[in-house]
């Protein structure tokens, strides 16, 4: 088996541009690449050794990648993406790119105590990974990176966990990897947590002595030494803390796995004794991270339907739309995530975008989609597009100050048709799954483009998946669009119902290892909502009723019986937030008011704490699974793990406090070089920032109107007309006429007439004939 070699500048997955090779090993080839959809962010792209997996093996690969991508720990290299190289069976993996020395090179001048500390950090990571059922399989210095000196040891990064099974067999890999391989694996037994501990023993020996316990240039002789030889520990025994460290190594390198320490956590305990001080510090940092990797349960039928519809779209070449509906926390995102994993490993191109609450620019998900696919051409599979790059900003717009007459509905239609046609053009050339998230936040203009899109993809092998909360779309255009799509045989609705009690118990068991008693209580409390289930488990940890010890999770059943069943998910979230430190609460308040991913540098400007306190708050909030780190346009940002968390926090924040925070955010954004007028308008109007709010609201309204997003423009026009104290009569009349255009465009001409008549009466009272003439002319059009 061999990994497929990639040329510089080639494009992988319609997204990653290869720059140069970083290395080659048993797993395959590793490249430095750039994420073209995310600000050219550098990533490590690993092409695994070539093989044509059987269907059963492919299914295992999906499950493994699903689990690995959801593992969260501050010392694990994040897996960002994966898929298959076009035209081959080579799986590829995309990880965050981290520069640094491997552990062996970094530790050249370390004391034995520092080496013990480093290996203890590694074992804390392994304990977390092992508890999720994942075995690393390839522990060696090259897979442990450190940026900086020993003072950064708590931030070391472990990579390639769980991947060695997709590479060569142990006897076929290089001598360098063989030196760390446990004897039982060499004898054909499966890898286990105990075989990882053997590798840890080899690593510890190497870091202390600067040599390997067993060495030979011939792979056969090396295997024989590992199966039969004994490590010489005399040199290590002469070091400071040497006898205890040697004894730890002796137990780790035992030929019989049963005689090795029982867990990685036990190794930390042995190292603490050897070093003479506690090396468990930081071990509570990821207790709640166990809950991010629960099994996918209860949605198998829905996943099978999505897969069937995708296959039909590919086989027939006819697009189809599926509207995935369910209450907040029902599992829409998890279902789409699992579907994405299945799809990319079957060769589909998968594109994603989404709406956000208070999205300040119209056509938000389509702007995002077009920005991410700028490099696409009609046949973009392995090279950048050669056609002229299409940009949203280049599209023709109505000129500023031009009336949007009722007859110009056709112009709005042409504009939205251009958006749709360009979106479809980017989807051509390859079967594609397009996922649009949280469309219950979409405005009227965005829904109009979605309507066009559900029709236009019918002549292309595209499956469009749109998620939304049915209770939050109101009487707007989206329910009508769904109904028409179903009636015209362009799509269907897929409703996610609450999980049954059996599935809730299975979900609980996948997380904490048992479901007796707690599964029944959680089902009754959650009503089968998966997010509610996860938050309840975390809440039990916060209350001390659910604790993780050396033997696994332990539930205080007696105390559970006396615990009052929470009335709603908001009650649970409020209690979880109350358990945070003051610094973490302050951070959460700012993230909730900002209500979108926030760059860390902006948080340092906004959150009124020093840098060290903010970093602690970020670490605490991530470890408690309140927030997560994401990358947006090449910047590391932070956001809540679920929209409900921010909604609950905003409900509890006093209005006056929120206004002050909005003003601070607006001022911080204003100082940025490329600030978005619509973002500024949102925060300054929410902050009631006087003339500044009016100025940016007018600018945002003009931009929205110019893009035929009349509903969004009206939001800003109405704000200005409500806070018009410092405007002249002429300005008020002009703004009223602009707003009247928008009322007519969205089909409420009665409001336009009422607004203009009111302004006409006021103008007549102050005897302004020119304004009266303009208003009368506008009334005739309305």
Active site residue: 14, 81, 138, 438, which one? 138
Q: How many residues does the chain have?
A: 782
Does 196 participate in catalysis according to the annotation? no
Q: Using DSSP bridges, classify how beta strands 432-437 and 462-468 pair: parallel, antiparallel or unpaired.
A: parallel
Question: Rounded to an integer, what distance in angstroms lies between the CA atom of residue 323 and that of residue 332?
Answer: 10
Q: Cβ atoms within 10 A of the Cβ of 632, count?
A: 15
Provide the phi-psi class of 469: left if phi over 0, else alpha when psi is between -120 and 50, else beta.
beta
Please give the distance of CA 601 from its chain centroid, rounded to a whole number: 19
Nearest to 467 by CA among 345, 713, 629, 643: 643
Contact 451, 483 (CB under 8 A): no
- Closest C-alpha to 664, from 593, 611, 596: 593
Which CB contacts under 8 angstroms, 24+ apart, belong to 561-567? 565/521, 565/524, 565/525, 566/525, 566/536, 566/539
Closest to 126 (Cα-Cα) out of 141, 137, 112: 137
Tell me the sheet residues that pair with 82.
93
Q: Which residues contact 64 (CB under 8 A, 6 or more apart)?
A: 162, 165
CB–CB of 705/404 below 8 Å?
Answer: yes
Q: Which of these, 668, 663, 643, lies nearest to 592 by C-alpha position?
A: 643
Report the 10 Å Cβ neighbour count for 339: 25
Extract the tokens encoding 521: 């209580």
Q: Three-state SS for 192?
A: coil
Q: Return d(Cα 153, Cα 96) in angstroms, integer.
A: 19
Closest by CA position to 734, among listed 691, 707, 711, 705: 705
DSSP 402-454: ----GGGHHHHHHHHHHHHHHHHHHHTTS-EEEEEE-GGG--HHHHHHHHHHH
Find out whether 572 and 539 touch, Cβ atoms under 8 Å: yes
- How are strands ordered across the β-sheet holding 101-102? 101-102, 144-146, 157-158
- Under 8 Å between Cβ of 532 and 572: yes
CB 163 within 8 A of CB 173: no
- Listed in sequence order, the residues at least 6 apart from 352 whose beta carbon sits closer than 8 Å to its beta carbon are 340, 434, 435, 436, 437
Helix (H) / strand (E) containing 367: helix 364-372
- The end-to-end CA distance of the chain, in Å, is 72
Instruction: Give which of 406, 514, 422 is closest to 780, Cα–Cα.
Output: 406
Catalytic residue list: 138
């Amino acid at each position: 088996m061999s990994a497929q070699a990639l040329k510089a500048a080639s494009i992988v997955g319609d997204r990653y541009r290869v720059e140069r090779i970083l290395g080659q090993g048993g797993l395959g080839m590793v490249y430095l690449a750039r994420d073209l959809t995310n600000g050219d962010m550098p990533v490590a792209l690993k092409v695994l050794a070539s093989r044509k997996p059987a269907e059963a093996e492919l299914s295992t690969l999906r499950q493994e990648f699903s689990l690995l991508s959801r593992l969260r720990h501050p010392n694990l290299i994040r897996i960002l993406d994966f898929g298959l190289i076009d035209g081959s069976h080579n799986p590829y993996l995309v990880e965050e790119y981290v520069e640094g020395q491997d552990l062996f090179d970094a530790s050249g001048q370390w004391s034995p105590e520092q080496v013990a500390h480093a290996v203890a950090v590694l074992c804390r990571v392994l304990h977390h990974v092992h508890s999720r059922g994942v075995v690393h399989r390839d522990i060696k210095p090259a897979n442990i990176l450190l940026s900086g000196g020993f003072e950064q040891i708590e931030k070391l990064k472990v990579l390639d966990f769980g991947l060695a099974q997709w590479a060569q067999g142990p006897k076929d890999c290089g001598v360098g990897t063989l030196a760390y391989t446990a004897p039982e694996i060499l004898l054909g037994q499966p890898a286990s947590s105990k075989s990882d501990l053997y590798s840890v023993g080899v690593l510890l020996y190497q870091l202390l002595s600067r040599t390997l316990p067993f060495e030979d240039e011939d792979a056969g002789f090396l295997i024989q030494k590992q199966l039969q030889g004994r490590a010489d520990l005399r040199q290590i025994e002469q070091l400071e803390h040497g006898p205890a460290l040697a004894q730890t190594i002796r137990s780790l390198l035992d030929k019989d796995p049963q005689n090795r320490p029982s867990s990685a956590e036990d190794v930390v305990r042995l190292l603490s004794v050897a070093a003479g001080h506690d090396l468990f510090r930081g071990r509570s940092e990821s207790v709640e991270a166990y809950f991010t990797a629960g099994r996918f349960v209860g949605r198998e039928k829905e996943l099978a339907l999505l897969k069937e519809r995708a296959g039909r779209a590919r086989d027939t070449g006819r697009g189809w739309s599926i509207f995935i509906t369910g209450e907040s926390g029902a599992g829409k995102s998890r279902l789409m995530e699992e579907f994405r994993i299945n799809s990319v490993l079957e060769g589909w191109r998968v594109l994603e975008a989404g709406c956000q609450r208070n999205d300040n620019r119209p056509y938000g998900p389509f702007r995002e989609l077009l920005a991410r696919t700028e490099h696409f051409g009609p046949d973009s599979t392995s090279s950048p597009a050669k056609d002229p790059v299409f940009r949203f900003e280049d599209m023709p717009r109505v000129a500023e100050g031009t009336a949007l007459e009722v007859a110009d509905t056709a112009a709005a239609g042409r504009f939205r048709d251009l958006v749709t046609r360009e979106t479809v053009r980017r989807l051509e050339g390859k079967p594609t799954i397009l996922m649009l998230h949280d469309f219950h936040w979409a405005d009227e203009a965005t829904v109009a483009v979605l309507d066009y899109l559900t029709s236009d993809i019918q002549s292309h092998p595209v499956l469009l998946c749109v998620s939304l909360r049915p209770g939050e779309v109101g009487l707007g255009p989206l329910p009508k669009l769904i109904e028409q799509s179903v009636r015209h045989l362009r799509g269907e609705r897929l409703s996610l119902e609450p999980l049954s009690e059996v599935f809730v118990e299975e979900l609980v068991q996948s997380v904490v290892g048992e479901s007796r008693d707690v599964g029944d209580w959680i089902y009754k409390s959650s009503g089968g909502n998966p997010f509610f289930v996860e938050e309840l488990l975390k809440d039990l940890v916060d209350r001390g009723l659910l604790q993780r010890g050396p033997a696994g999770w332990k539930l205080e059943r007696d105390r559970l019986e006396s615990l009052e069943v929470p009335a709603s998910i908001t009650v649970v979230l409020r209690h979880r937030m109350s358990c945070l430190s003051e610094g973490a609460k302050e951070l959460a308040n700012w993230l909730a008011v900002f209500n979108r991913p926030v760059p860390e540098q902006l948080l340092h400007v906004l959150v009124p704490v020093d840098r060290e306190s903010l970093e602690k708050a970020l670490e605490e909030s991530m470890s408690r699974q309140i927030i997560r780190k994401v990358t947006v346009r090449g910047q590391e940002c932070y956001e809540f793990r679920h929209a409900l968390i921010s909604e609950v926090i905003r409900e509890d924040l006093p209005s006056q406090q929120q206004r002050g925070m909005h003003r601070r955010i607006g001022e911080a954004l204003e100082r940025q070089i490329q600030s978005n007028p619509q973002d500024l308008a949102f925060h300054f109007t929410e902050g009631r920032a006087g003339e500044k709010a009016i100025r940016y609201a007018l600018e945002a309204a003009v931009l929205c109107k110019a893009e035929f997003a009349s509903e969004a423009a009206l939001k800003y026009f109405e704000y200005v007309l409500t806070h018009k104290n410092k405007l002249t009569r002429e300005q008020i009349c002009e703004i009223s006429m602009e707003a009247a255009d928008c009322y007519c465009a969205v089909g409420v001409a009665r409001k336009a007439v009422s607004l203009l008549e009111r302004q006409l009466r006021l103008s007549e009272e102050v005897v302004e004939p020119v304004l009266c003439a303009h208003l009368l002319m506008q009334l005739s059009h309305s």
